[in-house]
Amino acid sequence: EGASVGTSSHLSDGSHLTADLNEKLADLLANQKEELIALRRKHKADIEVILNGVPAQHREETLTRCRLKADQKKL
């Protein structure tokens, strides 16, 4: 009987640790998602600033070339 009490207590502690770990991982993931969204916004704003320095008639071509180069780097 004493062993089963110890076992159930141990299982309870293990479940508690698992719940804490899951909560911490969920918080970390949520924070990383927020950081990624903020970084994407910043990159978009930076790209707009750069493109504003390119003559209007060349902006689309410049953006297309940049996308192609980025896609090639992913390969």
Kindly report the pTM of this predicted structure.
0.59
Distance CA 23, CA 17 (A): 10
Contact by Cβ (8 Å): 59, 51: yes
Condensed to tens digits (0 to 9), the pLDDT of residues 29-73 reads 999 999 999 999 999 999 889 888 989 889 889 888 888 888 878
Tokens 């930076």, residue located: 46
What are phi and psi for residue 54, nearest 5 degrees? -100, 135
- 3-state SS string over 17-31? HHHHHHHHHHHHHHH
Hey, what are 60's tokens?
A: 């689309």
